Amino acid sequence: MIPLAIPNLAGREAEYLRQCIETGYVSSVGPFVTRMETEIAQATGAEHAVATSAGTTGLHLALVAVGVKPGDLVILPTFTFIASANAISHAGAMPWLFDITRDSWTIDVDLVDRQLRSDTVRRSGELIHKATNRRVGAIMPVYTLGMPADMDALNALAEEFGLPIVADAAAAIGARYRDRNIGALAHLSVLSFNGNKTITSGGGGAVIGAQPELMDHVRHLCTTARRGADYDHDAVGFNYRMTNLEAAVGCAQLERLAELVAAKRRISATYRAQLSDLPDIGFFPQPNWAQGACWFSGIVLDARRSQRLDEICTALRAKGIEARKFWKPVHEQAPYRAAPTTTTPVADDIWRRILTLPSSTHLTEQDQAFVIQAVRDILR
């Protein structure tokens, strides 16, 4: 079976794990955790990084750190992995769901602009969503498949309305936005190092940011809000730290970051070059403001072929190729049917037409050629 996206562990992962066992540093204090935080900050152009147990826990922590409170609404694109919405729920808040744009698959900033103006009111210094009477606490753009949202436009809007931005940058390590790295595009940004991401630590994530006090607050909350060594805690904190075992794998992966991101981009360019002559086939968008990290590659089917998406996946699987549909929008998911939602024509259309194809960083040229031929044969 040619898998969709599996970890590439050909570096020093085993050696570093052995060092953890030999030194006894297996938990959340240890040299690999510290090194991982330094290197993630460097790799993303952030000033600081706090390594977490997952992307989801990093998002939860970041929302609490910027002041999201129980009962708040958090602006979120509906086209995302459910973890983004779940982190908002874990903070006691509720997503306010928005459509994406067709040419970026990221949040429609003009739509957010219009709805903030028409659907909210300022009351005693707080921004209130009129229909639900809830405070709007933050904006969470999602860097879909590693593609940054239009952050200059979103930051201008966030500043006007006094809202913090927590970016779900889970799959975006290696991406660029208008020649800038991703570390300072939002108040806080969150990465994931889950097993299917470009680099992995088994499970894990990181909160990155540029403001020292805010990042100190994230670190404090992440470590049970402990003051000193004598069981003195000054807030309801979290036990969301990454362990040294996970960071050992993560550090070995980071040594090969440039190579792994380049492999993702090469795989994407090859599918594009060798499938673009098929009639009525589209590809994942490349807006002019960013260079995405190409976490997954694949194709976009026309409406007629998309009726057969399940059949196409089954036919590819029969040839030993793992191919899958992509995210079903959050407003279609049982826990979020009651969340306030804009009209969502783009998300409703796009998610039914996406076919993700094998995108592991060690996918060989021969295997990719086999996948491409199989796709051509099935779609012809």
Which one, of 148, 189, 170, lies nearest residue 62 by Cα? 189
Q: Which is nearer to ligand PLP, 56 or 341 (CB)?
A: 56
**To the nearest whole angstrom, how small is the minimum distance from the Cβ of residue 118 to ligand PLP?**
28
**To the nearest whole angstrom, how small is the minimum distance from the Cβ of residue 292 to ligand PLP?**
13
**To the nearest whole angstrom, how small is the minimum distance from the Cβ of residue 201 to ligand PLP?**
9
Taking CB atoms, the residue at the shortest distance from ligand PLP is 55
Contact residues: ligand PLP, CB under 6 A:
54-56, 80-81, 83-84, 142, 168, 170-171, 192, 194, 205
Which residue type occupies 291? Q
Q: Which is nearer to ligand PLP, 97 or 171 (CB)?
A: 171
Largest CA distance in the chain: 69
**To the nearest whole angstrom, how small is the minimum distance from the Cβ of residue 226 to ligand PLP?**
24
Q: Which is nearer to ligand PLP, 32 or 105 (CB)?
A: 105
Residues in CB range of 214: below 8 A, 6 or more apart: 65, 66, 187, 188
CA 88/CA 93 separation, integer angstroms: 5
Q: What's the token pair of residue 366?
A: 């021969």
Cβ atoms of 274 and 375 within 8 Å: the answer is no
Helices 31-44/244-254 angle, 10° precision: 40
Local structure of 271: helix, strand or coil: helix
Which runs of consecutive H residues, i.e. helices, occur in 170-256?
Answer: 212-222, 244-254
**To the nearest whole angstrom, how small is the minimum distance from the Cβ of residue 223 to ligand PLP?**
19
Q: Which is nearer to ligand PLP, 150 or 168 (CB)?
A: 168
Q: Which is nearer to ligand PLP, 66 or 83 (CB)?
A: 83
Q: Which is nearer to ligand PLP, 85 or 127 (CB)?
A: 85
**To the nearest whole angstrom, how small is the minimum distance from the Cβ of residue 243 to ligand PLP?**
14
Q: What's the token pair of residue 357?
A: 């194809």
Cβ atoms of 228 and 61 within 8 Å: the answer is no
